[in-house]
Chain A
Amino acid sequence: MKKLLLFLLLASLPAMALDYGISVKLNPKGKTISGTETIVWQNTTDTATDILPLHLYMNAFSNNRSIFAVESGGKHRGNRMDVKETKGFGYCKIIKVLVNGENAMDKFRYISDVPDPESLGVFWKDEISKRIRPDKTIGIIRLSKPLEPGETVTLTITFETKFPRVFARTGYWKTFFMGGQWFPKIAVFQGKKGWNCHFFHYRSEFFADFAHYTVALTVPQNYVVGATGYLKTETKQGNTKTLTFSVDNVHDFAWTAWDHWKVATDNWKHVKLFLLYPPGHEGTVHRQLEALKAAFSGYAELCGEDYPYKKFTLVDPPAQASGAGGMEYPMLVTGMFPSILIPSEVRMPEMVIVHEFGHNYFYGMLASNEFEDAWMDEGMNSFGTAYAMDRHYKYDVDFPFLKMDGFDEARMGYGAYKGPDFPGKAAWEFSPAGNGYSNLSYNKPTIYLRTLENMLGKEKFLQIFHTYFTEYKFKHPTPQDFLTVVKETAGDRAEDFVRRMLYTRDKIDFAVTEATSRKTPPFLGLKDFKPIHHDREKEKIKTGYQNTIIVENRGDFQYPVSVEARFKNGSKKMFTWDGKGGWHRFEFNSTSPMTVAIVDPNRIYACDISLKNNAVTLDPRTGSSMNKLALFISQLVQMVFNISSLSI
């Protein structure tokens, strides 16, 4: 039965129009890898092409003038590019090119050497400025005659890749190697729309076609290797060994090699799990594998299908190569466990593992264009991360006195964003100020999708993701594809919500602006022009409270919202407002005084931009929490003073 299912799965995959055969040898001393690559590419579109663009992304690290270096300022997640020594730089050098067996080196140009690169139409016009040169992250092969629809071309490329000292994703530290973006890769041809080939950017680097890969990697005998794909053969020659990996239907291939790797294994359903970790991290193995399995289960639930490959490798890079951490590749990701002292209540290493694994869905199988629609992998995957973490652990930070989940983190990040951008932009188009890219590509989709889940209910919401995954796995979905699924599954309002999240700055902000609770005064004056007699005892019983709550919709979405009044005797009263007309007044009587008025008490609108104005208390107590916080800080200052002033 299992074999039949596997056969059906493989049969459902599209036939590979792209095949990579790579044979390379690692030179640990020179920090290089060199060899030959054979690419067989078939033009499956209805349009002919006379060029073949290649990603040569390691050249982003070849100088401080590449687009990546300029955009990043030579920094990445706190790590710095080593510009003092030339050995810190990296490159991917094309040594020889054969097209269908014929020498075509004279037809090959790095993009910076092409006289009028814009005329090729392979990248966006606003993607590069004349200031940013030389950038050699794209290579162009001109064909002697156009490749017609249905025709196949075979490229044989001899190349050498030099690794940079790792500070951003790929590179080396001493004898450790993380091989990402290490080989020439063909860009994506979209027929009449032409080639989709972007430069290597600070924040985006992924868009490629699914392919069959066979990679033979020769490394010193004592090296341990982890890689995309399945290990087919391992042969030894002298002091080296050659490992051959093979896999279908992935759009990238990454590997790591180190002579200090330790290996732990486990299983999740049909998947063999490998954890490569550095010495000293033995105590973290359980935490890492637990997180990985939580990720497998969480994403299977979210997307409706199990991870389909039979192998997965999690790489836990040494802290000295932390720049390689927190990265995603098909069937292999890197986590980040910066110190063995991180307490188990702080689940940031777990969160990174879950997030990077999640990319095997949102990027790996749903291979959207990260350059142009980063929110489709980072945003949806950040939601998936918070979803899977919530499902397994509940909290990312889990102290008795401080609890925080992924949605809290995303709301805090997005709440602080005041810039002019929105998620539906290419990665390089975000204003560099205000952390716009991360807040809009990661945080905003996370809390808006959470809001959508709350509005629709879990079942309907999961139906969206199940349909999206079923229809677009192993394809290149666009934002419109997702919007169509949302519309067809959950209706116009849901689609409008997601669309406005993507392409506008529209926000949700409900507020309680006034809440009062007064004793109902006794009736005074005349009734039917005659004095009335008061029965004081009766009135005492009848006298209640007149309450008023004024709520405002300060946001841009006119959605219904609940308003809750809480009373001193512990009872509650719930109202609903359609959110229209800007504001609404609720007036009602009660026997007990109202103590709190809250709008959206169940936090349906997880993306509400300000929680501060969501509730008003008429019983202005802050409890001991504020005293405790002030006490904690003051005692800390006291202790610092004591220790420093009496230190010597």
Chain B
Amino acid sequence: MKALKSVIRQHKLVTILYLQELALFLIIFIPLASWFHAAASRTYFGTFFTVDFFPEILGKGGGVVVATTFILLTLLFFFLFRIFLMGGIFDSLMGKYNGFPHLLKESAKHFYRFLLLFIAYSIPLLILTGLTAKLTGSIAHNSPNQAMPVIMMIVSRCIAIIFSIFFSYWHTGARFKTILEHKTRFSFAMKGKQFLGFAAYQLISVLFLLLFAWLSVKCLTHPGTGLMIAGFLVMQIGLYGRNLFKLASYKLLS
């Protein structure tokens, strides 16, 4: 709880992460909504969404391909920008927040080191989760029991989450070490109690987001503008909360 309280006090860091996500939302939402409106506004059927009609209005001119490419490129850019921001965030978590310009300065200082650390910890994680998926997939494939694919899918995802927590723990430790020593440092240290607290915050952050995402979908799948706005707000709360708990988990290791 101490870590969480501390991050709440440094809520500006959480807000910076969230604002990046909000910017991403707007960059995707505005052109997408404009496109849908432009495509459907002169047509009566545009006033309600019917699936047999919708592909007809989107089907022309390769719009779907353009939109998908735009979304993927935006995601890539934001992903790199997030790695960039994490240098400043980690620096602030170790001390105190000294304003956004300072955060950006620190971010720039550590960008390549953080990029290297991200790649170094991601690759083995991907290999291990891939191998797990292959193994569980093979067990599922060879079993006559048709519940086995579902059981194995759950097992595989649970193992992937456990691996992620371990690698996130080491990755976080490495990032703090890197900030402290001003050069790229790796970490595979393990402190039992600290790790358990870290894992708890990580799991809470994911569950918090999933719960709010589920509520948001519930709102969005029912008619009404009010529910649409509620769905949006609920999702944003979920994202903010996820960032809060995630930073709390980092804070434990600072």
- A binding-site residues for B, Cβ under 8 Å: 174, 176, 258, 260, 278-281, 318-320, 337, 339-341, 397, 399-404, 408-409, 411-412, 415-416, 596, 598, 610-612, 614-617, 620-635, 637-648
Given contacts A622-B36, A638-B21, A640-B75, contact A612 B57 (CB under 8 A): yes
Given contacts A642-B21, A646-B246, contact A339 B29 (CB under 8 A): no
Contacts of B149 on A, CB cut-off 8 Å? 319, 339
Name the interface residues of B179-238: CB closer than 8 Å to any CB of A. Answer: 205-206, 209, 213, 216, 220-225, 228, 231-232, 235
A646 lies within 8 A of B242 (CB): yes
Given contacts A645-B82, A648-B168, contact A319 B228 (CB under 8 A): no
A404 lies within 8 A of B52 (CB): yes
- Which of B1-9, B40-48, B90-98, B99-107 lies at the interface? B40-48
Name the one of B45, B53, B222 contacting A400, with C-beta atoms under 8 angstroms.
B222
A281 to B147, CA, bound (A): 7
A617 lies within 8 A of B29 (CB): no
Contacts of A641 on B, CB cut-off 8 Å? 21, 24, 75, 78-79, 82
Who on chain A is nearest to B234 by CB? A635
4 further A-B pairs in the complex, CB-CB below 8 A; given A279-B147, A621-B47, A627-B36: A402-B51, A622-B46, A630-B36, A641-B79
Who on chain B is nearest to A615 by CB? B44
A279 to B144, CA, bound (A): 7
A5 to B78, CA, bound (A): 74
Who on chain B is nearest to A259 by CB? B144
A623 lies within 8 A of B47 (CB): yes
Name the interface residues of B5-25: CB closer than 8 Å to any CB of A. Answer: 21, 24-25
Who on chain A is nearest to B171 by CB? A648
Main secondary structure of the interface of A (DSSP, over half): mixed
A260 to B144, CA, bound (A): 7
Please tell me if B243 contacts chain A, counting CB pairs below 8 Å. yes
Given contacts A634-B32, A648-B121, contact A625 B44 (CB under 8 A): no
Contacts of A634 on B, CB cut-off 8 Å? 25, 28-29, 32
B46 lies within 8 A of A617 (CB): yes
B41 lies within 8 A of A622 (CB): yes
Please tell me if B61 contacts chain A, counting CB pairs below 8 Å. no
Given contacts A400-B222, A648-B164, contact A617 B44 (CB under 8 A): yes
Contacts of A616 on B, CB cut-off 8 Å? 42-44
A646 lies within 8 A of B243 (CB): yes
A646 to B172, CA, bound (A): 11
Who on chain B is nearest to A633 by CB? B32
Mark interface residues in B128-145 (1 if CB within 8 Å of A CB, else 0).
Answer: 000000000000011011
Given contacts A260-B144, A627-B33, contact A645 B47 (CB under 8 A): no
A622 lies within 8 A of B47 (CB): yes
Contacts of A631 on B, CB cut-off 8 Å? 29, 33, 220, 228, 231-232
B53 lies within 8 A of A626 (CB): no
Who on chain B is nearest to A412 by CB? B52
- B binding-site residues for A, Cβ under 8 Å: 21, 24-25, 28-29, 32-33, 36-37, 40-53, 55-57, 59, 71, 74-75, 78-79, 82-83, 118, 121-122, 125, 141-142, 144-150, 164, 167-168, 171, 205-206, 209, 213, 216, 220-225, 228, 231-232, 235, 239, 242-243, 246
Contacts of A648 on B, CB cut-off 8 Å? 118, 121-122, 125, 164, 167-168, 171
Name the one of B21, B45, B57, B74 contacting A615, with C-beta atoms under 8 angstroms.
B45
Closest 4 CB pairs of A and B: A280-B146, A280-B147, A615-B44, A630-B33
Contacts of A402 on B, CB cut-off 8 Å? 49, 51
Who on chain A is nearest to B245 by CB? A646
- Which of A319, A403, A617, A622 has the most chain B CB atoms inside 10 A of its CB? A622
A408 to B52, CA, bound (A): 6
A337 to B242, CA, bound (A): 36
A349 → B minimal CB distance (Å): 12
B150 lies within 8 A of A340 (CB): yes
A341 to B83, CA, bound (A): 36
A598 lies within 8 A of B44 (CB): yes
A-B contact pairs, 16 of them (CB 8 A): A318-B146, A337-B146, A340-B146, A409-B52, A611-B45, A612-B45, A616-B42, A616-B44, A625-B47, A626-B33, A629-B36, A631-B232, A637-B74, A638-B21, A641-B24, A642-B243
Who on chain A is nearest to B216 by CB? A635
- Which of B52, B121, B122, B232 has the most chain A CB atoms inside 10 A of its CB? B52
A116 to B40, CA, bound (A): 61
B146 lies within 8 A of A639 (CB): no
A637 to B43, CA, bound (A): 28
Who on chain A is nearest to B125 by CB? A648
A615 to B44, CA, bound (A): 6
Who on chain A is nearest to B57 by CB? A612
A637 lies within 8 A of B122 (CB): no
Contacts of B242 on A, CB cut-off 8 Å? 642, 646
Contacts of B216 on A, CB cut-off 8 Å? 635
Who on chain B is nearest to A645 by CB? B82
B186 → A minimal CB distance (Å): 14
Contacts of B75 on A, CB cut-off 8 Å? 637, 640-641
A411 lies within 8 A of B52 (CB): yes
A404 lies within 8 A of B51 (CB): yes
A318 lies within 8 A of B144 (CB): yes
A646 to B75, CA, bound (A): 13
Name the one of A279, A622, A643 contacting B146, with C-beta atoms under 8 angstroms.
A279
A303 → B minimal CB distance (Å): 27
Name the one of B43, B145, B224, B228 contacting A617, with C-beta atoms under 8 angstroms.
B43
A642 lies within 8 A of B45 (CB): no
B36 lies within 8 A of A638 (CB): no
B221 → A minimal CB distance (Å): 4
Who on chain B is nearest to A408 by CB? B52
A634 to B67, CA, bound (A): 12
B42 lies within 8 A of A620 (CB): yes
Name the one of B29, B82, B213 contacting A630, with C-beta atoms under 8 angstroms.
B29
B46 lies within 8 A of A626 (CB): yes
A635 to B167, CA, bound (A): 27
A642 to B164, CA, bound (A): 15
Given contacts A615-B45, A634-B28, contact A642 B209 (CB under 8 A): yes
A630 to B32, CA, bound (A): 6
A639 lies within 8 A of B213 (CB): yes
Contacts of A596 on B, CB cut-off 8 Å? 44
Contacts of B32 on A, CB cut-off 8 Å? 630, 633-634
Contacts of B122 on A, CB cut-off 8 Å? 648
Who on chain A is nearest to B53 by CB? A611
A617 to B46, CA, bound (A): 9
B55 lies within 8 A of A412 (CB): yes
